[in-house]
Amino acid sequence: MPRLAAILVVLPLLLLSLSAVVGTAASLPRGGFGFEATLRHVDADAGYTNAQLLARAVARSRARAATLQSLATLAPGDAITAARILVRASDGEYLMDMGIGTPPRYYSAILDTGSDLIWTQCAPCLLCVDQPTPYFDPAQSATYRALGCASPICNALYYPLCFQNVCVYQYFYGDSASTAGVLANETFTFGTNTTRVAVPSISFGCGNLNAGSLANGSGMVGFGRGSLSLVSQLGSPRFSYCLTSFLSPVPSRLYFGVYATLNSTNASTSGPVRSTPFVVNPALPTMYFLNMTGISVGGYRLPIDPAVFAINDEDGTGGTIIDSGTTITYLAEPAYDAVRAAFVSQIRLPLLNVTEESVLDTCFKWPPPPRQSLTLPEVVLHFDGADMELPLQNYMLVEPVSGGLCLAMATSDDGTIIGSFQHQNFHVLYDLENSLLSFVPKPCNLI
């Protein structure tokens, strides 16, 4: 039996095993709410070498990019297709701690700016995957309430199901991972000791039937633009993060609500705040699209048609996404070819031969010969109303296996994805109320 068919056969058994009290979602007041949180890289403290960390990050990026690029080409109308949130559940990059229930039990969930649903694995678990914490047990929480089928938040699901007036969800992810269970309300606890807040009536997926991998986490927390995401449910439509390098043991920081300002740290600002508007892609409304207009290398604006970075109005393909779950940046093929050609012409080092399987294929022999001075070209990403001037460490890296100096970018068959490597050590603010992305350079390891 195909795996998907097996899931759909088991789902009725799951429904028969559930007993729940139906609850209703509560709205939260706007303004005056917020918290700070720590983000850990999924491979932190796992004992990997730098070479292994890089290889794992690049592999996750390649898989996630392939999935994101396939999203808009899906045929509409198919119920199973409509239920898919094609992100890579096992390929997120950062984990966020949160407490679930009363009393709270703490879990680490993959933070994902490319999806909406918040979910964790729950007991009784008919089919579950490995996670570092026990499964959440609704019977042990005083505030757990399953949602009824008439709940507006139930109708926000891509493919809502109903069993005995209990709202049931099922999500299928792009890496063949999946989760199915009851959509419920629960009290969630967020933040560090100094900013800890308990928020009632957060809607989440209590998954009793799950498959795939959770990359050292115990679930996912969606930070997308849809109504099921944490951002939408908390009613404070702004968050920011400052990401350290994935090679650094220092954790990153997340700021939410009133704490999400670019003046929220004591670190000195090393440049002006830049802002660019978000662009809505009707085919992928939950994603954070930007209007990218060009790229400069070594002070020279490359001859790239801005249409290369634009959304295709006919089918929603293409466009430029900023995504914390992808490490390296993927450029639409004409843009990547122009950037590669510029680097080859401006860096006077021999190119290294790379295999066809290599994601990083613009690599130079390193270190340079003795007594040879070398100047590496500056890179600027141009957006509508804002330029992102990348520090050297945000676009070049030494590949540990070959020892080559490589451009931390790759080619894409469809669309452009600005990955976390390019905006590490920037404080990045997502302001959904004003539909703006703002950023400023910051030493993220110091805040």
Name beta bridge partners: 397.
406
Judged by phi (left if over 0) then psi (alpha if -120 to 50, else beta), residue 54 lies in alpha
Are residues 35 and 190 in contact, defined by beta-carbon separation less than 8 angstroms? yes
Q: Which two tokens stand for residue 322?
A: 């900023």
Residue 323 a catalytic site member: yes
Q: Catalytic residue among 112, 116, 175, 431, which? A: 112
Comparing CA positions, the residue from 252, 276, 210 lying closest to residue 111 is 252
Q: Which two tokens stand for residue 69?
A: 């690029």
For the chain, how many residues are written?
447
Q: Catalytic residue among 43, 97, 116, 323, which? A: 323
d(CA 122, CA 136): 5
Comparing CA positions, the residue from 9, 199, 79 lying closest to residue 1 is 9
d(CA 207, CA 277): 36
Alpha-carbon distance values, 175 to 10, 64, 214, 226, 430 (Å):
20, 9, 11, 21, 27
Q: Which two tokens stand for residue 283?
A: 């085919």
DSSP string of 119-184, one letter each residue = EEEBSS-SB----SSPPB-GGG-SS-EEEBTT-HHHHTSSS-EEETTEEEEEEE-TTS-EEEEEEE
349, 350, 355, 361: CA torsion to nearest 10: 30
Q: Which residues are catalytic?
A: 112, 323
